[in-house]
Structure 1
Amino acid sequence: MPVSKHSSITLPAVSHVSAGFVAVLVGFASAVVIVIQAAQVTGANSTEIGSWILALGLGMGLTSIGLSLYYREPVLTAWSTPGAALLVTGLGGIGLSDATGAFLFSGLLIVLVGVSGVFERLMHHVPGSLASAMLAGILLQFGLQAFTAMHQDFSLVALMLLTYLVGKRLRPRYVIPLVLIVGLLYIAFSGQLHGHSVHLALARPVFTWPSFSLPVLISVGVPLFIVTMTSQNIPGLAVLRANGYQTPISPLLTVTGLATLILAPFGGFALNLSAITAAICLGEEAGAERNTRYLATVAGGFFYILIGLFGATIAALFAALPQAYVFALAGLALLGTIGNSLHGALNDAKDREAALVTFLVTASGLTLLGIGGAFWGLVARSGDSLRESLRG
């Protein structure tokens, strides 16, 4: 239950602010390039990409601050990084208006799940191996691009890979920001940064009228919903529970789903619970007293808003960077997720073959009836499950 409105207000300490800043920096640096790629696939221009970052920054900031203050527990929200990766692979040839319709559809499904309270029962019907295999298939090309980018700039990508390998052993929590910084320094000193168009500027919202295409809703909206729920909200809930916080899950889903519905026309494609970066705000480094660690996620919310307001500058900066850098950064940022997904998909021997089929179908980029590979990966797994049931 939320605390009384008359409860005393506690000011954040340095540990709260630093934990919130690190959580936002790690999450943002790890995935903003994938979000930008997703927007570019739809044909979005630099102003529209800035609107995406603005909408996501404001959405994550306001929901993190609001939910944390209401429940007095550390609730950090995030955009769906696996969802953004899905959009890169699934939105080819799909316009921004149809994509916006898919975002709204996914957000509506999350709201319905939150309001109805059927989250646990619904997720019970989505086998973990299925979700892991589908996610691994979606992310495969990103992992491959981290290495094929060496054809474009061997020295840059090799340096980033070496930094990743060393940083993973010494400072695993900060490895992606470290890779980002080392890559930027190399680009700057080698004269590859074409930043004449980069200047400090506030982002402005750009509204896109949604259109609804059944093939797009099925091939993008449904997988986006499933990936967001299974790869973000379930781990996010697990992180809260593992740290002893019993924040009710249904209201959190409802709020993030409603935020997606409101912000989708401006580029807020999917908001959800944070998992990995949330752990930074839930541990002892965020404060010795557990009952004040919510101030770390409040601080993180303010940093989210600040980044969102300058989304236009961030979009212009990444547009000025070499393509090899963007591909390598995205791939390295997702290596851990790819490995965990493959492990989850293939760990159970009895489901291994079915999960492998799902992985291969999803990774193949198969398109039938205008519907993309992620959906057919689900169908392949469902068909295999039905076959096993009939055998039984």
Structure 2
Amino acid sequence: MPAAASSTTVAGLVTALVGFLSSFAVVITGLRAVGATPGQAASGLLVLSLAMGLATVLLAQRTRLPITVAWSTPGAALLASASAPSWSVAVAAFVLVGGLVLLTAAWPRLGDAIGAIPPVLAQAMLAGVLVPLCLQPVRSALEMPWLVVPVVLVWVVLLRFSARWAVPAAFAVTLGIIGWLAVRDGGVPASALVPRLDWTTPDFASTAVVGLALPLFLVTMASQNVPGMAVLASYGYRAPWRPAMAVTGAGTVLGAPFGGHAINLAAISAALAAGPEADADPGRRYLAARTAGFAYVGFALVSVAVAALVATAPAGFVAAAAGLALWPVLASSLSGALARPEDRIPVVAAFLVAISGVTVGGIGSAFWSLAVGLAFWAWYRPRPVEVPGSA
């Protein structure tokens, strides 16, 4: 194999490995929180892996750009702190999210409207919904230190010496511990390892659909799609907005009845395929993205065994690992949200409503966080003072 081909292959495999291992536990935790059974959560992980793999291959091959697609990790974290009347209502929200993403491809003004929402409010909402999950490692370390502390130690050490691999390694240790416990307790039934997609008919009748879908859509756009475009631009690539939104929106709609909450442009892992480490020639880096897409399809089969193992874990253990993985995201969200003093009152209002977990009219705190934040933004935030005679 030529050296150039070898580098793109390795970069693609690393992209997929980091992308999958760094957040699968967040996805499973989020799906279970909104009512999925272990089997439905396994189906969701499977269809998300397939959807983002196929979408990555399609976009990379058609555009010849290193575009990679991922599941919405911030969206899964939002689900982990949300609630839904039933799993079918949550699935309806997933369908609506995909429809809204498709609408941004067909109607640019919707994208402009999303862009008009102050990013600091979206960051404050995300930080608020992350806090409960980010507290889970602290609580679980006290309840089951013999399980959680080794995971934390691996994460802390690698965060110092090889930050890219800190979360994947922590999750690998988590899976190792769960596997040991499963073997000790009799193993995992073979039937649970068979790949299967579970269909759920969406229920659009509840007001909770909109209350869950809108924050999930906003977080997916603001925390994944927009930064994903920015990462590609930083390496000199101008990714086509409409085709990217059309593919990820369609993938979300098609995957939603099987439990997939959302796919979007990759942000953090995008740099692994788009950077010079993938290939010295920028025109060949799309091959790394394409390899990552094929690898995600392969991981779809592995995801069934992963989900089956996770289902056997002690209560709170996987959530602790997921929360640990989100500490850097929480730090980044808080830092960005509170960067400017003049924004802090609206930001704190949005953050506190999100962290409260309140539900009003069947609609969860993430939606009300945005509503309250925008109200405070319009009323409180100081406006520029006009100087008489200035033009």
Structure 2 length normalisation: TM-score? Answer: 0.92
Structure 1 length normalisation: TM-score? Answer: 0.91
Contact 1:47-1:203 at 8 Å conserved across structures: no
1:77-226 maps to which residues of 2 (within 5 A)?
77-92=69-84, 94-118=85-109, 121-185=112-176, 194=185, 196-197=187-188, 199=190, 201-226=193-218
1:292-311 maps to which residues of 2 (within 5 A)?
292-311=284-303
Residue in 2 that maps onto 1:336: 328
1:201 deviates by 3.3
Query: What secondary structure does 1:323 align onto?
Result: coil
Q: Distance in 2 between matches of 1:358 and 1:248?
A: 32
Contact 1:187-1:193 at 8 Å conserved across structures: no
Q: Residue type of the partner of 2:173?
A: V
Contact 1:59-1:263 at 8 Å conserved across structures: yes
Q: Distance in 1 between matches of 2:122 and 2:196?
A: 36
Q: Distance in 2 between matches of 1:359 and 1:89?
A: 13
Name which of structure 1's ranges 322-331 and 72-81 shifts more when overlaid on structure 2.
322-331
1:17 deviates by 1.9
The correspondence for 2:23, drawn from 9, 13, 31, is 31
Q: Deviations over 1:24-80 (max 9, x none)?
A: 222211211122122223433333222212211110011000000000001100110
Contact 1:119-1:250 at 8 Å conserved across structures: no
Query: What secondary structure does 2:363 align onto?
Result: coil
Contact 2:47-2:300 at 8 Å conserved across structures: yes
Query: What secondary structure does 1:286 align onto?
Result: coil
Residue in 1 that maps onto 2:387: none
**Unmatched 5+ residue regions in structure 2?**
385-391
Query: What secondary structure does 1:247 align onto?
Result: coil
Change (3 A) 1:221 1:188: closer
Q: Distance in 1 between matches of 2:19 and 2:125?
A: 22
1:185 deviates by 4.5
1:325 deviates by 3.1
Contact 1:198-1:313 at 8 Å conserved across structures: no
Q: Residue type of the partner of 1:255?
A: V
Q: Distance in 2 between matches of 1:339 and 1:366?
A: 23
Change (3 A) 1:70 1:382: same
Query: What secondary structure does 1:118 align onto?
Result: helix
1:188 deviates by 5.9
Change (3 A) 1:258 1:187: closer
Q: Distance in 2 between matches of 1:204 and 1:188?
A: 21
Query: What secondary structure does 2:70 align onto?
Result: strand
Contact 1:46-1:312 at 8 Å conserved across structures: no
Q: Residue type of the partner of 2:353?
A: V
Query: What secondary structure does 1:78 align onto?
Result: strand
Contact 1:90-1:219 at 8 Å conserved across structures: no
Residue in 2 that maps onto 1:49: 41
Q: Deviations over 1:319-343 (max 9, x none)?
A: 1223343122101111110000001
Change (3 A) 1:190 1:104: closer
CA RMSD of aligned residues (A): 2.2
Change (3 A) 1:294 1:202: farther
Figure out how many residues of one structure are paired with residues of the other and give that number.
Answer: 382
Residue in 1 that maps onto 2:310: 318
Query: What secondary structure does 2:264 align onto?
Result: strand
Residue in 2 that maps onto 1:272: 264
Residue in 2 that maps onto 1:386: 378
Query: What secondary structure does 2:277 align onto?
Result: helix
